[in-house]
Structure 1
Amino acid sequence: MKLTKDEQAILGGSKGPEMAKLMKIQVVFGNTFGAEKLVDLGGAPHSNLYPGAPYLSSMIKMLDECATAGLKSYAPYTVNPRPYDCFNVQNNEKEMQIVYEGYPLQKELDWVHARLGAPDLNKRSCACYVKEVGNAPKPGTMVAWAESSAVNYGNSVLGIRTNRNGAGIDLISAITAKAPYFGLMTDEGRQAKWLVEVKTSKAPDWGVLGTAIGRKVVEDVPLVAGIDKYFEGSEVTEDNMHLLKAMGSATAASGAVGLYHVENLTPDAKEKGRKLLEEGYQTYVYDDAEEQKTIKTFDNLWPRKDGDPTAAFIGCPHNTLYEMKKWGKLVTEGLEKDGKEKTAIPVYMFCANVVKLQLIADDGELAGKMLKAGMIATPMCGVTWAGTKGFSDRVQGITNSAKTRNYSSIRYFPDQTLVDIIVSGKVPS
């Protein structure tokens, strides 16, 4: 990999021993993946280094040394949600013991982030691109993000350029303001190897569609055709972005998709159309039969297969403001229709705190109804909660997130079915 004179100087220690070590890591990392050079970064970074778990102790120590030396990110950066919430969710002795034993380094990690340039905890979110959090760089901006669903959405819908970075590389890049140039950052790396033709008779189940695409293309880049008609004016807006969030996160969870294009809709596809398709591309047709075939693979992983659900998980990736309002209305109106005041099971609504506060500001009456009904807003990571010790023995969860389903024992149901279960407490036969 060729370095500029300034980069060579940093490697030689011109900006201190800590920066020299970070630059050395980036050079080795870049050479491993065949990068030809380093590129300067813009926008703002996003980090998925969020759990203060013992296995991350060496990385936290390394970053603490950087912070102690006065190093900072080139711009204020966003971070994934914290792995627990002892205010709204795990506020009982048993759960608190599990999370405090599981994440004993959380204080140290949060302190590192504060010194390196992360905003306050109210903006912690895996959906860093929502308006209230505000990390949405312009198309073409080179960044170094980590977090599979954020990378997926950023590359695809925002049109930024980042690879699927692991925890640690994101912050090393944030401090050096540089990243190795390869993969999804390059024009050739963003070409599509698959054409996915969606031919369902109505709007697809977005999470199921994403799951099917991820399983089919694995880590390759797909161009998805036939879904732009579900986006008014062929534009992604605050009212419909959650559809691509659901689809894209499922492609990243069931496969390893870091970028997809949607014909006539996403930035690269609007600019280049089907010129994005590589020579010799493969075609995958997704129709009603394929949707049902995929749904049938969603196994029931509950220990008690025929038991009743005990909690609903909505918001993975984190809910947008539109989704918070949508689900608030769906559930409270469902309860009113059934003559009930409270949900049969707790409903956990995962979102950044700034999104929850905006809901209260916009529609305090709805926010109050949701709280009284048993809908609990929490800024934590639901999937991480589902991965805690003995979770499936304590909780039989239901969700509308295909990403959550991919990573846990929580069962997946379409939106309206999920509402019915939340109101009744029973899974339909």
Structure 2
Amino acid sequence: MQLTERQRALLDGAEGAVMAKVLRTVVQYGEIFGAGRLAGLDGPVHVVTSMGMAGFEAVFDLLDQLIEAGLSTQEPFTVDPRPYDLDGVDYSATEKQALLELYTHQDRYEEQLRALGMKDDRSYSCTAYLAEVGNTPAAGDVLAWAESSAVVYANSVLAARSNRNSALIELMCGIAGFTPEFGLLLDEQRKATYLVEVRTSALPPATVLGSAVGRAVVGEVPFVAGIDPHLGDLNDPATQDYLKDFGAATASNGAVGLFHVEHLTPEARGHGRDLLTDDYRRVVIDDQALADLVADYPVLWEKEDAEPETALIGCPHLSLNQLCTVTDTILTALEAVGRTTVAMRTVLSAAPAVVATFRTEHSQSFERAITAGVNIASMCPALHMNTPATASRPVITNSNKLRTYTTSRFLADHAVLDRIAAPPARRQEQTR
């Protein structure tokens, strides 16, 4: 790897032994992937590790070394969601105990994050790029992000440049101010190796189409054709939400770090099908393919016919537009069936800053939702499901990311809504 004079000086200890270790870590990471040099960062990092989990003691001890050496990131960074939200979620006593035991180092870790340069205590979200959160890169910005759903959105929708970095690597890059130049930082690696033709009768649910694309291309770059006529432009909040959830599903059901949508995403608008490599492969996705895919999703509940107890919505975190829409949809459905409260625990997850904005700018909807028993929180649904006390319970979700990572059961939006608003007898019949 070719290093600048300053980078070589840092490796030689010009800013201390700990900084030398930090940069050596970044260099060795880049060498594994054949990086030719280190690129300077154009924006803050986004850190994926947000949980002070038992078993991570070596990580927390390492962070203490960084802090004792006086090191912090070059710019204030954002972090993935906290593993629990004691103020926003109605936990059972068993759940609360299990979560606090598993994430026993949470207070210690959050103090470390503040010392290392975290933006503020409202920076815990997998949707760091949202305006309310404030870590929004510009087109062409070189980044060192982790969190697969954030990376794929930044690359695809915002035209920034980041690899799917590993936990702690992104933090080391943020402290050093450099990231290895390989993979999706390079023009050639951003070309599409798959042409995905969507031939469905209507716009598919984002999370289902994303699942199909992720499974088809795995870690390659897809060029998706056929959905742009059903979407608005990139200034449309509904289009942004669709691409957010689509990308999260491609990244979790596969390992996609960048996708292009014909006539819509920035690089596809600029280059069209010239983005396709000469040897690209073609995949066709139709209604039957999506129906077969969903039918094949496993049910991991202890009893397949159990009555669901919890609905988790917001993985990745909901945008403000989604939080408003989902809340109003639930309240309307409750009114239609003559209910005043939800039929099961219903948790909507969004960034702390998004929840705060919703609470102040849409106070009537917020208060009505809380009165109806809806939990509006900022926890990570996936980390919530990590304990035996939570993983063993029947949970439903409309998120393909959450389905992939946990024992939660995937249902379409309308099916989740039916169970949230339906009387218990009807819910049991629908589950069967």
Moved more, 87-96 or 207-216: 87-96
Alignment of 1:57-68 (within 5 A): 57-68=57-68
Q: 2:390 & 2:97 partners in 1: Cα distance? A: 13
The answer to whether the aligner puts 1:288 opposite 2:287 as a matched pair is: yes
Shift of 1:407: 1.1
Question: What is the letter of the counterpart of residue 44 of structure 2?
Answer: A
Q: Is the 8 A contact 2:51 2:103 kept in 1?
A: yes
Indicate conservation of the 8 Å contact 1:236/1:265, yes or no.
Answer: no
Cα-to-partner distance string for 1:76-105 (whole Å, 9 max, x where unaligned): 110001112222326543223212221222
Which residue in the other structure is 1:14 paired with?
14
Structure-1 residue corresponding to 2:331: 332
> What does residue 121 of structure 2 align with?
121
State whether residues 84 and 90 of structure 1, in contact with CA within 8 Å, keep that contact through their aligned partners in structure 2.
no
Is the contact between residue 123 and residue 133 of structure 2 (CA under 8 Å) also seen in structure 1?
A: yes
Is residue 2:241 matched to residue 1:242?
A: yes
Residue correspondence of structure 1 range 105-254 to structure 2 within 5 A: 105-232=105-232, 234-254=233-253
* Per-residue deviation, 1:60: 2.0
Contact preservation (8 Å) 1:83, 1:385: yes
CA distance in 1, matches of 2:363, 2:157: 31
The two structures have a TM-score, normalised by structure 2, of 0.96
Q: Which residue of 2 aligns with 1:386?
A: 385
Aligned partner letter, 2:194: W
One of 386, 395, 398 as aligned partner of 2:396: 398
Structure 2 residue identity aligned to 1:344: A
CA contact (8 A) 1:148 1:252 kept: yes
- Which structure 1 residue ranges, 5 or more long, are not aligned? none
The whole-number CA distance in structure 2 between the counterparts of 1:235 and 1:120 is 28
Q: How far does the alpha carbon of each residue in 1:348-388 deviate from its partner, in whole angstroms, 9 at most, with x for none?
A: 00111211111122211111111011110111100111121
Return the alpha-carbon distance in structure 1 between the equivalents of residues 74 and 229 of structure 2.
Answer: 39
Pairing 1:90-105 to 2, within 5 Å after superposition: 91-105=91-105
Which residue of structure 2 aligns with residue 69 of structure 1?
69
CA RMSD in angstroms comes to 1.3
Instruction: Report whether the alignment pairs 1:31 with 2:26.
Output: no
Q: Which residue of 2 aligns with 1:256?
A: 255
Find the partner of 1:418 among 416, 419, 422.
Answer: 416
Partner SS for 1:307: coil
Deviates more, 1:280-289 or 1:57-66: 57-66
Contact map agreement 1:78 1:125 (CA 8 A) in 2: yes
Q: Does 1:366 align with 2:341?
A: no
Maintained 8 Å contact 1:346/1:376 = yes
Contact 1:223/1:263, CA 8 A, preserved across alignment: yes
Residue 269 of structure 2 corresponds to: 270
What is the distance in 2 between the residues matched to 1:55 and 1:3?
Answer: 36
1:188: how far off?
Answer: 1.1
Return the letter of the residue paired with 2:365: L
- Residues 303 and 392 of structure 1 are in contact (CA less than 8 Å); yes or no, is this contact kept in structure 2? no
May I ask how many residue pairs the two structures share in their alignment? Answer: 427
Q: Percent identity?
A: 38
**Per-residue deviation at 1:10?**
0.3
Q: Aligned partners of 2:216 and 2:128: how far apart in 1?
A: 27
- Can you list the C-alpha shifts for 1:220-276, whole angstroms capped at 9, x where unaligned? 1101111111222x3243233111111111111111111111111111111111111
> Deviation string for 1:53-91 (max 9, x for gaps)?
233222222222212222121111100011122223265
Which amino acid is the alignment partner of residue 369 of structure 2?
Answer: M
Kept in 2, the 8 Å contact 1:90–1:96? The answer is no
**Does structure 1 residue 48 correspond to structure 2 residue 44?**
no
Partners of 1:235 and 1:157 in 2: CA distance: 8
TM-score after normalising by structure 1: 0.97
Letter in 1 for 2:266: P
Change (3 A) 1:83 1:158: same
Rounded Cα–Cα distance in structure 2 between residues aligned with 1:155 and 1:327: 27
CA distance in 2, matches of 1:56, 1:165: 19
Contact 1:312 1:345 in 2 (8 A): yes
Structure 1: which amino acid aligns with 2:107? K
Report if aligned partners of 1:128, 1:136 keep a CA contact under 8 Å in 2: yes
- Structure 1 distance, partners of 2:389, 2:107, is 24
Conservation of the 8 A alpha-carbon contact between 1:78 and 1:123:
yes
The answer to whether 1:318 aligns with 2:312 is no
SS in 2 for 1:282: strand
Kept in 1, the 8 Å contact 2:88–2:378? The answer is no
Question: In 2, distance between residues paired with 1:277 and 1:307?
Answer: 46
Stretches of structure 2 that go unaligned for 5 or more consecutive residues are none
The 1-side partners of 2:395 and 2:382 are apart by: 11
Residues 398, 416 of structure 2: 8 Å contact kept = yes
* Kept after mapping to 1: 8 A contact 2:398/2:410: yes
Q: Compare 116-125 and 274-283 and name the one that shifted more.
A: 116-125
What SS does the aligned partner of 2:61 have?
helix
For the residues of structure 2 that align with 1:203 and 1:7, how far apart are their CA atoms? 49
Whether the aligned pair in 1 keeps the contact of 2:98 and 2:389 (CA below 8 Å) is no
- Range that drifts further, 352-361 or 91-100: 91-100
Counterpart CA distance in 1 for 2:163 and 2:240 is 22
Tell me the distance in 1 between the aligned counterparts of 2:325 and 2:274: 37
